Every structure is written in C-alpha cells, then in structure tokens.
Amino acid sequence: MRATIITIGDELLIGQVVDTNSCFIGRKFGDCGIRIIERCSIGDDAETIIATLDRVLPTTDIVVITGGLGPTKDDLTKHTLARYFGCELVRDQATYQFVEQMLARRGIEFNELNKAQALVPDGCTVLPNRNGTAPGMWFDTTDGKVVVSLPGVPFEMEELITDKVIPRLIERFELRTNVHKTIITFGMAESVMAATIADWEDALPKQLHLAYLPNAKGIRLRLSCYDVEREEGLLMINKAFSELERIIPDYIMGYEDASVAEEVAKMLCERGATLAVAESCTGGRIASTFTSMAGASEYFLCGVVSYANSAKQNLLGVRSETLEQHGAVSRQVAEQMAEGVRQTAGSDYAIATTGIAGPSGGSDAKPVGTVWIAIASPKGTVSRKMTYGRIRTQNIERASTTAINLLRLVLLDKLDTVMSDAIL
Amino acid sequence: MRATIITIGDELLIGQVVDTNSCFIGRKFGDCGIRIIERCSIGDDAETIIATLDRVLPTTDIVVITGGLGPTKDDLTKHTLARYFGCELVRDQATYQFVEQMLARRGIEFNELNKAQALVPDGCTVLPNRNGTAPGMWFDTTDGKVVVSLPGVPFEMEELITDKVIPRLIERFELRTNVHKTIITFGMAESVMAATIADWEDALPKQLHLAYLPNAKGIRLRLSCYDVEREEGLLMINKAFSELERIIPDYIMGYEDASVAEEVAKMLCERGATLAVAESCTGGRIASTFTSMAGASEYFLCGVVSYANSAKQNLLGVRSETLEQHGAVSRQVAEQMAEGVRQTAGSDYAIATTGIAGPSGGSDAKPVGTVWIAIASPKGTVSRKMTYGRIRTQNIERASTTAINLLRLVLLDKLDTVMSDAIL
C-alpha cells in the first residue's frame, strides 16, 4: 500500500513553519504497513494543488493533504477539493453546532468566518475534529483510491489520523501491520560505529534493511523488514538487535523513542533514587528535559539555574575563592555545584554543568564550547571536560545530553566507557 | 527565480526525522528573492532521485538537495549524482586533509569510510564544509541551471547555504532581494483577530499578500510584496504594518523572529533590569527559553526549578502553612515563589509558575491544565490563573509563553489587557 503526503501552505515554502505533520503521518502509516513514497509541500494555490493531485494519484493509493483549512482568506484547500471532485459546499450540521459550542465555552464570538468552517463538499465523508473548528474530509475516488484532507494544526491533525483515518484505512484496504524497530545509541561516533558493527551489518538477513539516523541526541539504528509475515519479521529483527547489544552494550539506550534522559529516569525510578540539577551553561535545559516527561515528580526534586556567580555562591555554596582561583568554568566549580545542589535538595544524585555556550565569552585557555560536567553521587563526585563547537544552541543541547549520559554511566558503574561528543 | 528543494532519506518518509532543512533554505532563499515552488522528500533510492530530478528540472532554475552524503552504506546521493551528470568520483585533496585533521583532533580513527568522504564527482565545484566530513557539491547543468547537493546535518547545511551557496547564487543569477516582513502577535485568538483587522486587510494594496501563521507561541502575520522594486515594496509593507500597530498595539511583540521572550529580554536590557525565575510546572522551560538566547547573562541572574514542595520551602521561602492551606497550585504559592526568588536572587523582576501539567495529578477543583502565574516587581506582585488542555508538552509551552507575556504587560504597565490562551 503506497501513500503520498501533500502539505499545503506558503508558510512551509518560505520556511516560517517546520513541517512536523509529515513526520507524524509517516510514523503512524509505517506502523500499519503503508509506505510513504513521497511527501511534498506546495503553496496555497488552487492550480498547483490540482496539478499535484493529478501528478501523484496515478502512482499512489492514498493521498493525505494537510493544511489550508483555516478560517482566513489564504486558506484554499476546501474550495479546491470541492472543485476537483465536482462537489458543492454544504453546511455540516454537527460541525456547525460543535464549533458554536466550542467558541461559546472559550468566550470567542461565533462570527461568519467561524460559521464558514462548517461548510463541506457534499461528496465527502466528514471526519469530526473535536480539537478545532475545521473537520477532516475523506474522499473516495472513482478508481478506488482515497484522498483525505486534514487541518494543518498538529494536535488536531494527530488525533484525526489516529482515531479516524487509520482505523478507516485498515478496514478499507484490509491492511496488515509492518515491522520496523529502532535502537537508540549515544556516545559513539558514526564512523567508529560503522566500522565496529560492519561484520554484523554484512551478516544481516537480506530481508532486513538498516538505516543510520544520527542527530544531536545520538545515533539511532533502524531495522525494517519487508515482504515477511509480521511475526517472523519481528523475530528476525529481535535476533539481530540482541546480537548488536552484545557488540556495543554500553552505548545502547533502549528502543524506539527512548532517550538517554528516559533511560536515566527509568533507572532512578527503579532504584527509588532522587535527582537534583545545577545548571550554568545549559540554562535549565537539563531540568526541562526531565520535567517534560510525565512522572518526573517521582524522582526530580529541584533544579538551580545559577547563571550569575552570586547564585552559584548563595544557592549552591560554591566558594568565592574557588571562583576567583579557577574561574566559573572549571572542574572545581562544576564539582562544588553538583555537591551543593545534592546537599541542598537532599537528593541521591546531582548533575552540574558550567561552560561557555557562546557565541562570545571564550578565551584562548577556555574557548567557546568548553564545558565542565560533574556528577555527585553517594559514591563521590566525578567530572569530565568536553569541547564542543561554536554554535550556542548546539552546545547547550550536546552538553545537556552528555551530562545526562555521564549520570547514566555513574548509575551503571561504567566510568571507563569512552564518551565521544562527536556524531561524525 | 524559482527553486525546488529535495530532501533525501528514508528516515524522512517513515517519520523518524523532522525536515527542518527545507525551512531554513526557504527562509534564506526568500530573503534574496528566490521563490521555492516545491519541496519534496524522497527515499534513499537512486532511481527515485533520478526520476525526481528529471521531473523538477524543467520548471525550476535551482535545485537544492540535502541528505544522503554520510559515510554509511545507505547514503547514495553522491554516487547517484555522479551517474546523473556522467562524472567519475575523484579524491578532493583539500577535503581529504581537512577530514584527516578534524578526526585526529577529536581522536577518531581515519578509516576507509571517512576517506571515502573525500571522493567527489569530477564535474562539480566542491563547497568546503568546515563542520563535517561531507563537502557540498555544486553542479552547473548544460542549460544554465544549478543543482546543489549538501549534507543533511542541519548545522553543516546551514553554514554552507549561508556562506557558500547564497553568495554564488546572487553572483550567478544577479539576484535582487525580495520583500517579506512578519509581525509577531501574542494573546489574541485567530478568529477574533481576523474580525478585528478585516477592514485593514481589505484595504491592503493589491501587491501585498497577507498570511496568518498561528502556533503555540502566538499568531504571526506575514506581508509579502511581489512585482515591485524592493524599496517601494518595503515602504508599502511598513506603512501597512504601522497602521496595524495602531489597531492592535498591545498584542504586537515585534517583527520577524521576535518572540515574547526576545521582546522581554530587550526591554530588560534597555532598562538595565535583572530577572530571576521560579518554576514548578514549567520545569525549567522559562529559564531555558531565556538562556538559549545569546546575551542572557546581561539580565538573567538565576532560576529555581522547585518541583518538590521541600524545594519551594528551602530555596524560595514558600511557607508550609500556605502549602497546607491552599495547595501547591494556588495564587498564594505562585506569589510567594515569585517574591522568594526575587529576594534570593536580588533581581528587579521575577516570574513564577505552579500548575498541573498532566497527564495525571488533576482533581475536580484543579483539573489538569490549571496553572497559576505570578510576577514580582518593584511595584508589587500580580498573578493570573490560566486553564489549558490535557496535553503535557502543550501545557508547559503555553504556560511558559503566557508567563513571559505577563511580565511584558507588567513592564509596559498594561495589566488591563485581556490575555487569550487560545489560538483559534
């Protein structure tokens, strides 16, 4: 089963909005064996929308369109689809009442623009949207294909895909689910990993396809299995990954959406242990990473973002002599920050970071990108110096992930593991 | 001048990587008058890459390809382009030496996979990449078009686009820069805004095109001007936006990449004032938002992420009776947190948040999504209660932006402005 995603909006072409919708749809469709053969973004222009539908429909079974359904004048998708499928726009009574009530609850006026949201092409099946004013629309073409139009607002689109579109597609095309699995690694450079696992990769069964997916959070390795029954495919993938776990055991964080932070959170919960963090250069990013995961209050006690030196002294007990003698970016200050927040919070473990995120503030001895990381634990305090590049947001992200990984190695008692900060 | 972006990688189709590259390129190209007519993502497959080039080249002047240049076996772009343009792969000596030195500095082995990164098609111009091992490649077609292939790693691609590709394109096609401008609003629902500014919109000159770009950070309004000289276009846009500023003055944050946080940072710097934050439900997100912007150390003193009640008491001086009597999610606790961190840090202003981010932890009286926000300032303390939805990450983001906006209104002495939390 082949699908094509078309995202509509001038804002996608001129780069004011990142297209996360295609990503979500790709993942959900992949899970039920629908292969995305292309995703494309085009402008809010009726002729281009029609030309693109004409181009993609011959080679695909399903087309998902997102965007261009808002109440404002630049939104053309609904009118264009009505024209493409030769339909009239008619009021959908359920949508009309739903929008009226939704706006009343939020104290927003039910004006003409909002009323027009309840108009739909008479040939489509309406997919009710309980998170917004624009419903989804499902069209069956005369040659047995499906065209679905959804709002572009991510959380509205996501619920419609999950609750309405996928179940209808499974029924309509009698789909069987396909097999992908992804293993998450951190701390080994890509070229080193490719060399380390080359023999394993060469010995993979021919039905398995390996992909490397590097980003600042590590390297993900995905195995996909095609043309094999689901059960058998899963067995092949699991066997391959358990061999891989024996080859690079200390670099594996887990599977699928696992991250270093999730792995650490799980370990802390299992041990009933607690965490506090003291951040200078990472500026709250580590605290935010943990607290954005549900259940953080089980182990996360507190964080201190000690940007000013006075905050390092008052809130964390860093000694002024240490700041004077070694500077704020030093092993000594990182260790005192970790020990200080551990004591203040009364936590079992503590993470601290201090560094020069950039773009300015560097010196010859401590260039932009220099970061000291420390972990305080019941067994004592350890620290590491990392040297990153020139880009502030990158440095913050890398330092955060590496600091969380150092805590993971402390929890595993594996401090001799080489940590690479490179993704190369 | 028309351009098409092709991003290559199975990971884009199955949704494991969000395509942020197209967005960056779209923005940069827009600035120099190059119109993106389509962006499409396809898999790591030589035949599809060739078919897509054949399809798009007749209607476009420039093709930018990103991705598929890594050292591993699933990366096919370079070999496919060599085949497409009838080239041999030859070693680029400058790239070879650069990669060798780069890896040596980071202590990574210079293995065969890395050496292969220095092979390039002999018909292309090499665009040196000082952030990674894969250089960019520039091809001139026989009919005067340009095809550029760049690595998919965002910060490598970004520097190549800015420093190498754009200057060469400006020279090659004698480009003149085009005119877009975006105004950033926050706090007014989309349908209310559409009705409020309808007369203004109807009276816009016909060369100006308006687009609404809503997201969780507010609604951005973009005016584009086509077919007019740059100077004249800018005048038309500026005139239109200054009229708009008179219609909705309290909802405008600034222009282009401006955000509520940037606006607040600017106001604090101008006044020489300092900031501290105390976060419970937003968990470090507000601190991280400010500290991810360069120059934060000028005004940002410290943040406390007081997840545990004990941290609220010890680090912020919240009274235990208040916690017992009103609960952690209450006006009283939010205000004590703001006042506490302001005093501890010795800052002029302080932001505090306390709420139930979800998915669990709600009650009938305080459902998931309930958030109290407080601002402490030299003039006293103010607070607001917001009620968001069911989605944790959404709640954290909305509460963070709304809290920063409340500080903005305090700084402007405009506390009577209605704040909407809806984007509808």
Whether B379 is in a domain gets the answer yes
Residues A220 and A326 in one domain: no
Whether residue A10 lies within 8 A of chain B, CB to CB, comes out as yes
Number of domains in chain A: 3
What is the token pair recorded at B362? Answer: 């709600």
Residues A65 and A204 in one domain: no
| Helices within A210-284 (DSSP H only) | 230-247, 260-271
Confidence bin at B269 (pLDDT 50/70/90): very high
Whether A227 is in a domain gets the answer yes
Q: Which of these three, B255, B278, B311, is where a domain ends?
A: B255
Whether B417 is in a domain gets the answer no
Residue scoring higher pLDDT (A115 or A290): A290
Whether A268 is in a domain gets the answer no
Residues A150 and A251 in one domain: no
Residues B102 and B137 in one domain: yes
Q: What is the mean pLDDT of chain A?
A: 91
Whether B423 is in a domain gets the answer no
pLDDT digits (tens, 9 = 90+) for B187-227: 888 888 888 999 999 999 988 988 887 776 778 898 988 76
Contacts of B384 (CB under 8 A, 6+ apart): B372, B373, B402, B406, B419
Q: What is the mean pLDDT of residues B139-158?
A: 94
φ/ψ (deg, to 5) at A120: -135, 155
Residues A169 and A21 in one domain: yes
Specify the CATH number for the domain of residue A169: 3.40.980.10
Residues B75 and B118 in one domain: yes
Contacts of A358 (CB under 8 A, 6+ apart): A368, A369, A390, A391, A392, A395, B294
Cα–Cα distance, A193 to B73 (Å, whole number): 13
Cα–Cα distance, B347 to B339 (Å, whole number): 10
Of the candidates B13, B36, B288, the beta carbon closest to that of A13 is on B36
Cα–Cα distance, A182 to B15 (Å, whole number): 12
Cα–Cα distance, A368 to A393 (Å, whole number): 12
Contacts of B56 (CB under 8 A, 6+ apart): B4, B6, B38, B40, B63
pLDDT at B355 over 60: yes
On the 0-12 / 13-18 / 19+ scale of CB atoms within 10 A, A365 is exposed
pLDDT at A88 over 80: yes
Q: What is the mean pLDDT of residues B288-315?
A: 95
Is-contact B258 B405, C-beta < 8 A? no
- Cβ–Cβ gap B288/A285 under 8 Å: yes
Length of chain B: 424
pLDDT at B110 over 80: yes
How much of chain A exceeds pLDDT 90, in percent?
66
Q: What is the mean pLDDT of residues B390-414?
A: 90
Q: Among residues 244-273 of chain A, which lie with CB inside 8 Å of chain B?
A: none
The one-character DSSP state at A41 is: E
pLDDT at A422 over 50: no
pLDDT digits (tens, 9 = 90+) for A43-83: 989 999 999 999 999 999 999 999 988 877 678 899 999 99
Confidence bin at B394 (pLDDT 50/70/90): confident
pLDDT at B247 over 90: yes
Cα–Cα distance, B386 to B365 (Å, whole number): 14
Range of the structural domain that residue B300 is part of = 260-412
Residues A100 and A136 in one domain: yes
Whether residue B202 lies within 8 A of chain A, CB to CB, comes out as no
What is the token pair recorded at A177? Answer: 């689910």
Å between A253 CA and nearest CA of chain B? 17
**Which residue, among B230, B214, B213, B233, has the nearest Cα to B222 in the 3D structure?**
B213
Residues B113 and B15 in one domain: yes
Whether A202 is in a domain gets the answer yes
Q: Which of these three, A222, A255, A288, is where a domain ends?
A: A255
pLDDT at A250 over 70: yes
Specify the CATH number for the domain of residue A315: 3.90.950.20
**pLDDT for res B415:** 81
Whether residue A93 lies within 8 A of chain B, CB to CB, comes out as no
The amino acid present at A163, given as its one-letter code, is D
Length of chain A: 424
Residues B373 and B271 in one domain: yes
Q: CA dist A382 to A190, A336, A350, A406, Å?
A: 27, 11, 11, 9
pLDDT digits (tens, 9 = 90+) for B123-138: 899 999 988 889 999 9
Specify the CATH number for the domain of residue A195: 3.30.70.2860
Of the candidates B113, B292, B422, the beta carbon closest to that of A283 is on B292
Residues B37 and B149 in one domain: yes
**pLDDT for res B203:** 95
What is the token pair recorded at A145? Answer: 């294909």
Query: For residue B180, which residues of chain A lie inside 8 Å, CB to CB?
Result: 14
pLDDT at A177 over 70: no
Q: Which of these three, B215, B234, B255, is where a domain ends?
A: B255
Parallel, antiparallel, or unpaired: how do β-strands B35-42 and A35-42 relate?
antiparallel
Whether A418 is in a domain gets the answer no
Of the candidates B71, B214, B394, the beta carbon closest to that of A155 is on B394
Query: For residue A74, which residues of chain B lie inside 8 Å, CB to CB?
Result: 209-212
Lowest mean pLDDT segment, chosen from B24-38, B220-234, B287-301:
B220-234
Parallel, antiparallel, or unpaired: how do β-strands A146-150 and A179-185 relate?
unpaired
Cα–Cα distance, B403 to B422 (Å, whole number): 14
First-to-last alpha carbon distance for chain B, in angstroms, is: 36
Q: What is the mean pLDDT of residues B100-121?
A: 86
Query: For residue A44, which residues of chain B lie inside 8 Å, CB to CB?
Result: 211
**Which residue, among B374, B375, B372, has the nearest Cα to B348 in the 3D structure?**
B375
Residues B148 and B26 in one domain: yes
Residues A119 and A183 in one domain: no
What is the token pair recorded at A316? Answer: 């964390």
Q: CA dist B140 to A95, A236, A282, A416, B63, Å?
A: 53, 45, 44, 51, 11
Q: What is the mean pLDDT of residues A29-53?
A: 92
Number of A:B CB contacts under 8 A?
Answer: 340
Whether A421 is in a domain gets the answer no
**pLDDT for res B424:** 36
